[in-house]
């Protein structure tokens, strides 16, 4: 995953770009959770990365998730909370796909 892809999706250092994939994700996530975007969820995680320009150092790469990285920790935590697998549309899969 590249910082460029995150920025193209609308996650930038100045916030989420209106009319972008990011704004659509934020809207969907807020509707699904009763009006807010949760810390640690896909939108918040991607926005944090977009603001910092830190996708590579987090362990999300074009080759997959790097062992021992922040990304692998997120994936393990998400898998444990979902009975052993990372759900489609969850934080890890969404961030990795972008």
Domain count for the chain, please give it: 1
Amino acid 56: pLDDT: 62
Cα 76 to Cα 33: distance, rounded to the nearest angstrom: 23
Output the tens digit of pLDDT for each of the chain's 98 residues: 567 788 888 988 899 999 998 898 889 888 888 888 888 777 888 888 888 776 667 787 878 888 888 788 878 888 887 788 887 877 778 778 77
Question: For residue 60, what are the CA distances in angstroms to 44, 69, 80?
Answer: 15, 8, 19
Amino acid 20: pLDDT: 92
Amino acid 80: pLDDT: 84
Cα 80 to Cα 77: distance, rounded to the nearest angstrom: 5
Domain that holds residue 53: 1-96
pTM score, whole prediction: 0.65
């Amino acid at each position: 995953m590249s910082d460029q892809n995150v920025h193209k999706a609308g996650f930038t250092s100045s916030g989420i770009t209106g009319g972008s994939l990011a704004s659509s994700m934020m809207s969907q996530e807020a509707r699904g959770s009763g009006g807010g975007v949760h810390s640690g969820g896909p939108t918040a995680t991607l926005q944090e990365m977009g603001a910092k320009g830190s996708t590579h150092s987090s362990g999300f790469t074009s080759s997959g998730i790097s062992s021992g990285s922040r990304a692998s920790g997120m994936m393990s935590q998400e898998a444990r909370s979902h009975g052993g697998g990372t759900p489609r549309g969850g934080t890890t899969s969404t961030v990795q796909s972008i």
